[in-house]
């Protein structure tokens, strides 16, 4: 009889350990993600490509398959936020990199504002990156 109680106690302990392991699966904080520009400068003009990387700051690894839902490109750094231009997400970038096509109507500093959802994470990654358009 004692052997049966010990066996059941061991089984219950193992089940509890396994279940607690599933409950404590670590997730990253949304603040652990950031966008980074691949190139800080572009030539002014139409149909220029901007490439950014989304990385996990804790691991340094790129983050593929994020859903980018907000984009804006304007001249806010030079005090001209009303000077905005259309920006389009381009397909076919490698894992963790995201490419956009935009027209830089004049030389100066442009602010790229991005909002994205990372698969499996709560919250939104938001970034404001400054790109310099040169003549």
Cα–Cα distance, 89 to 130 (Å, whole number): 17
- pLDDT tens for each residue of 32-81: 999 999 999 999 999 999 999 999 999 999 999 999 999 999 999 999 99
Give ∠ CA 56-86-47 in degrees, rounded to 5: 90
**How is 24-35 classified by DSSP, letter by letter?**
T-----GGGEEE
Q: Residue ranges of the domains in the chain?
A: 30-134
The CATH homologous superfamily to which domain 30-134 belongs is: Immunoglobulins (2.60.40.10)
Q: Is the pLDDT of residue 8 over 90?
A: no
Q: List b or e across 28-40, with b for residues whose CB sees 16 or more CB atoms inside 10 angstroms.
A: eeeebbbbebeee
pTM for the predicted model, two decimal places: 0.77
In whole angstroms, what is the distance from residue 7 CA to residue 10 CA?
A: 5
| Average pLDDT for the chain | 87
User: How many whole angstroms separate alpha carbon 37 and alpha carbon 56?
Assistant: 14
pLDDT class of 94 with cuts at 50, 70, 90: confident
Has residue 14 got a pLDDT over 70? no
pLDDT at 18 over 50: no
């Amino acid at each position: 009889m004692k052997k049966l109680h010990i066996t059941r106690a061991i089984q219950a302990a193992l089940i509890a350990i396994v279940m607690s392991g599933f409950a404590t699966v670590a997730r990253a904080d949304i603040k652990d993600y950031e966008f980074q520009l691949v190139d800080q400068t572009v030539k002014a003009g139409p149909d220029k490509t901007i490439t950014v990387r989304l990385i996990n700051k804790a691991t340094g690894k790129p983050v593929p398959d994020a859903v980018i839902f907000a984009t804006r490109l304007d001249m806010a750094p030079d005090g001209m936020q009303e000077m905005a231009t259309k920006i389009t997400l381009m397909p076919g970038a490698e894992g963790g990199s995201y490419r956009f096509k935009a027209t830089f109507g004049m030389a100066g500093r442009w602010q790229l504002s991005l909002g994205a959802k990372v698969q499996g994470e709560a919250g939104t990654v938001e970034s404001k990156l400054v790109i310099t358009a040169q003549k």
